[in-house]
Amino acid sequence: MKKIFVILFIFTLAGFTFGQSKTDLGIQGNLAIPMGDFGEYYDLGYGGLLSFYFNISPGFALGVNSGYQIWDATGLTNTSLSAIPVLGAFRYYFGVDKFKPYVLGSVGGYYTVTKYEYELLGVKYSGSDSEFHPGFSAGIGFVYKVSPMVGIDFTGRFSNIFRTNDSNTFIDICAGALFCL
C-alpha cells in the first residue's frame, strides 16, 4: 500500500515538474459485468468512479482512480461483494479536437468486502470479510468536449482483481463527465 502512494506522489510531482497546470477531474457511473467463475456467482454490478488526471502533454495524462463498486450474489439474499479501487492510471489520447478517443491502463489495488447472511438448519449465520488485493484494468474510451471546460467521458475496460485463490474478472462500462480544472 505504501508503494502505491509513493508512486502516485511521484506522478503528482512529475506533472508539476513538466510545468503543466492543466488537470482533469472525472466522475462516472458504471455497470460492472462479471465474467468467468465470478459471473457464475455474482450478478451485474454497479457503482461510481472518481478520476483525477495530470496532463503531462497534449496527448498523455497520468492520474489516480478510485470509487465504489458492488455485486450481489446470484440467487442468495443478503450476500454481496463490494470493492474500492485505488489505482494509478494513464490515458493516451489520439485526438486533440472535440472528439478525443483514448486507450487507458491502470494498476494498483482493490479493497474488497464480502458480506454474507444465511440460514442453515434453522441457525442464522452472518459476517463479513475484508481484504486488499492487487488488480489492474485496461480499456478504450473517448471524451467529447461539450464546452472548453466540460466533456462527456465514455469508457469500456477489462478489469481484474487478483484474489488469494481466484480472481474477479469483469467488464466495466462507464459514462460520466470530465471537468478541466
For the segment 8-24, the average pLDDT, to the nearest whole number, is 54
Residue 94 pLDDT > 80, yes or no?
Answer: yes
- 18-32, 37-51, 66-80, 143-157 — which is least confidently predicted? 18-32
Average pLDDT, the chain: 87
Residue 81, domain extent? 2-180
For the segment 125-154, the average pLDDT, to the nearest whole number, is 93
Banded pLDDT at 166 (limits 50, 70, 90): confident
Banded pLDDT at 17 (limits 50, 70, 90): very low
Percent of the chain whose predicted confidence (pLDDT) is above 90: 64
- Nearest-10 Cα torsion for 17, 18, 19, 20: -120
Banded pLDDT at 1 (limits 50, 70, 90): low
Confidence at residue 165, expressed as pLDDT on a 0 to 100 scale: 80
Q: How many CA atoms lie within 13 A of 85 on its CB side?
A: 27
Question: What is the CATH number for 21?
Answer: 2.40.160.20
Residue 68 pLDDT > 80, yes or no?
Answer: yes
Confidence at residue 3, expressed as pLDDT on a 0 to 100 scale: 53
Cell numbers standing for residue 162 = 487478483
pTM value is: 0.80
Cell numbers standing for residue 66 = 478510485
Burial (CB count within 10 angstroms: exposed 0-12, middle 13-18, buried 19+), residue 87: buried
CA distance linking residue 91 with residue 54, whole number of Å:
10
**Element counts in the chain: helices (H) and strands (E):** 2, 8
Give the gyration radius of the chain's Cα atoms. 18
Closest CA to 174 of 153, 148, 158, 146: 153
Closest CA to 83 of 53, 118, 119, 42: 42
Confidence at residue 124, expressed as pLDDT on a 0 to 100 scale: 85
**How many domains does the chain divide into?**
1
Confidence at residue 8, expressed as pLDDT on a 0 to 100 scale: 46
DSSP for residue 44 = -
Contact 178, 52 (CB under 8 A): no
